[in-house]
Amino acid sequence: MNINKSSMVIRNIFYNQYNMSKPTSSEVLTSYIKQCHEPPWTSYFVKYSDVRDDQWGKSHFNWKVCDSNYHILRTGCFPYIKYHCTYSWFS
């Protein structure tokens, strides 16, 4: 298999139409916190295969949900992404 065919196979795996129909990890994070009524602390797992990972490379960051701010600790433990979400003041 030449390099062009290899790159096309990889691109099709990661950027196909099926993948584009999945929610982003950002959308799942925001929706989860809203559905929990913005708790002071929560955590959850999501499978890598169930989302488009638009937060790749982020392990500790602030996340705004409505008027609240959360400190997010995010770690990958294949096949899952784990989130720890703690309500915090804006920083």
Better-predicted residue by pLDDT, 11 or 87: 87
pLDDT at 32 over 80: yes
12: helix, strand or coil: helix
Radius of gyration of the chain (CA): 16
pLDDT at 34 over 80: yes
Please answer whether residues 27 and 43 qualify as being in contact, where contact means their C-beta atoms are separated by less than 8 angstroms. Answer: no
pLDDT band at 13 (very low <50, low <70, confident <90, very high): low
**pTM of the full structure:** 0.76
> What is the pLDDT at residue 43?
97
pLDDT band at 53 (very low <50, low <70, confident <90, very high): very high
Cα end-to-end distance, the chain, whole Å: 50
26: helix, strand or coil: helix
CA distances to 3, 74, 83 from 37, rounded to whole Å, are: 49, 20, 17
